[in-house]
Amino acid sequence: MKTYQVGLIGAGFMAKAHAIAYAGLPVFFWPAPALVNRKIIADLTQERADAAAAQFGFEKGTGDWHDIINDPSIDIVDICTPNDAHAEIAIAAAKAGKHILCEKPISRTVDEAKAMYEAVKKAGVTNKLAFNYRMTPAVQLAKKYIGEGALGDILDFRGTYLQDWSADPNSPLSWRFQKKICGSGAFGDIATHVVDMLRFLLGDFTEVNARLATYIKERPVQTGTVDNLGVVKGGENVPKKAVDVDDQCLLTLKCKSGAFGTIEATRNAWGRNNYITFEIHGTKGSVYFNYERRDELQVCFASDPGDRRGFRTVYTGPAHPYGEALWPIPALGIGYTETKIVEMYEFIKAVSEGKQVEPNFEDGYNIELIGEAAFKSASSGLWEKVRSI
Ligand code: SOE
């Protein structure tokens, strides 16, 4: 069995998820399309990289990510850094002929996304963006129902991504609130996940009307580089600086098919944690998904007899997409880890077959263009067309 060598850049929360996915891939998907050896992990200093190597099972650490690009034995570059480093690393990796897995969102700007897309296209390398939630079996099942025409023509949809980890004004000004590092706030960080799922389910969006808001205008400056998601003890005594990205976004979108709907995202919704939902209505039925109950898909069909028509719950299990590889009976529980393992499986399969996979840099670039139209609409107050690639 082929073994690929991976170099992972960034050693935070996402590096943990990717490290587990490399290890878990052959455990769930056996025979695996290929194995992956965790060879090098890069962080800002050698000391931190060495600690991450020990924790995440890499052969060694480095304080300079260029060591990964310049190492001819590395087949795959995995980018788990904040958004400001995605373009530089991905373009260097593509030029060096490495396959690339990159965390979402693709970049800070449309120009960066374009450059990344062109670099991987020119190099012909397999590239994947880590929008993991579409890999949830229940989301894949929704795609199956829609593809089979079980919902009829799609009329409308609504999607949400609601969290509350930044609702307290003392939640620190991490990189996620600084435009020069992240590009955008709730839009790039979380709305893009729902945009990705709904593009996957319904096809491309052509026009957007959006409202964006920043409710907490300044936050305590974060000390240290750890990605703090939530309030830090003593944070109220730290000097504050301005937030220059969106806290909340509300998009109304039109699909190429004519369907339209809304996507709402905020990290300031008390009581909501990872509340990723979508509801899709068609002429023959509806589906409803809530990631906080991610083993379930709610379905309702117009053809059911009137006296028993209503949403019913399908628990995903071995009969459903990816289910056979995961757990032997429904409702044992799919978690964040499983979505990352399925994502890794699709990526490594594509690498081993010399193919492309979705979502990829082209999808990421398209989502940046949707963001561009949304931000334009938020200031013009008008419907704005989404540019095509
Ligand atoms: C913070 O909002 C965050 O870590 C996002 O950046 C991830 O993409 C999401 O999966 C969980 O929440």
Taking only the tens place, the pLDDT of each residue in 54-85 is 999 999 999 999 999 999 999 999 999 999 99
Using alpha carbons, select from 58, 66, 128 the residue that is nearest to residue 96.
66
316 Cβ contact partners less than 8 Å away, ≥ 6 residues apart: 137, 138, 141, 295, 296, 297, 323, 330, 334
Give the integer Cα–Cα distance in Å for 165 and 247. Answer: 12
CA of 188 to the centre of ligand 1 (A): 10
Confidence of residue 253 (pLDDT cuts 50, 70, 90): very high
Is the pLDDT reported for residue 207 higher than 90?
Answer: yes
Atom 1 in ligand 1: which residue has the minimum CA distance?
Answer: 189
Neighbouring C-beta atoms of residue 209, cutoff 10 Å: 20
Using CA atoms, how far apart are residues 337 and 88, in angstroms rounded to an integer?
A: 28
Pairing of strands 99-102, 76-79: parallel
Percent over 90 (pLDDT), the chain = 95
Of ligand 1's atoms, which has the minimum distance to the CA of residue 104?
Answer: 8
Q: Cα dist. 371→109, 255, 359 in Å?
A: 9, 15, 17
Rounded to whole angstroms, how far apart are CA atoms 295 and 313? Answer: 10
Distance 161 CA to ligand 1 centre (A): 10
Residue indicated by tokens 């709402």: 264
Contacts of 254 (CB under 8 A, 6+ apart): 205, 206, 207, 208, 260, 383
Query: What band does 228 get if pLDDT is binned at 50, 70 and 90?
Result: confident
Distance 190 CA to ligand 1 centre (A): 6
Ligand 1 centre from 105 Cα, in Å?
10
Tell me how far the alpha carbon of residue 216 lies from the centroid of ligand 1, in angstroms: 19
To test ligand 1's pocket by mutation, which of 190, 226, 272 has the most ligand atoms within 8 angstroms of CB? Answer: 190
pTM of the model: 0.98
Residue 225 C-alpha to ligand 1 middle, in angstroms? 17
Q: Which token pair is 311?
A: 């949403």
Q: What is the pLDDT of residue 225?
A: 67
CA pair distance 124, 142, nearest whole angstrom: 31
**If you average pLDDT over residues 230-245, what whole number do you get?**
86
* 8 and 41 Cβ atoms separated by less than 8 Å: yes
Report pLDDT for 6. Answer: 99
Instruction: Please list every protein residue whose CB sits less than 6 Å from any atom of ligand 1.
Output: 163, 189-190, 229, 267
Tokens of 371: 């963001």
Average pLDDT on 250-263 reads 97
- Which position has the token pair 């650490």? 61
DSSP reduced 3-state for 163: coil
Predicted local confidence at residue 236, as pLDDT: 75
pLDDT tens readout for residues 19-33: 999 999 999 999 999
Residue 103 Cα to ligand 1 midpoint, Å, equals 10
Residue 1 scores a pLDDT above 90 = yes
pLDDT tens digit sequence for 273-319: 999 999 999 999 999 999 999 999 999 999 999 999 999 999 999 99
CA atoms within 13 A on the CB side of 104: 31
Task: List the residue whose alpha carbon is closest to atom 9 of ligand 1.
Answer: 190
Q: Where are the alpha helices (DSSP H) in 65-147?
A: 66-69, 86-95, 110-123, 137-147
CA-to-CA distance for 78 and 103, rounded, in angstroms?
8
Are 87 and 112 in contact, with CB atoms under 8 Å apart?
yes
The atom number, within ligand 1, closest to the CA of 103 reads 8
DSSP state, residue 228: -
Please list, in sequence order, all residues whose beta carbon lies within 8 angstroms of the beta carbon of residue 337, skipping any fewer than 6 positions away: 17, 20, 21, 24
Query: Three-state DSSP class for 224?
Result: coil
Looking at ligand 1, which residue's alpha carbon is closest to its atom 10? 190
Please identify which residue in the block is written with the tokens 């980890």: 165
∠ CA 192-130-273, rounded to 5°: 55
Q: Are 216 and 176 in contact (CB under 8 A)?
A: no
Polymer length of the chain? 389
Q: How confident is the model at residue 324 (pLDDT cuts 50, 70, 90)?
A: very high
| Domains of the chain, earliest start first | 3-133 (3.40.50.720), 135-358+367-380 (3.30.360.10)
Residue 229 CA: nearest ligand 1 atom is 1
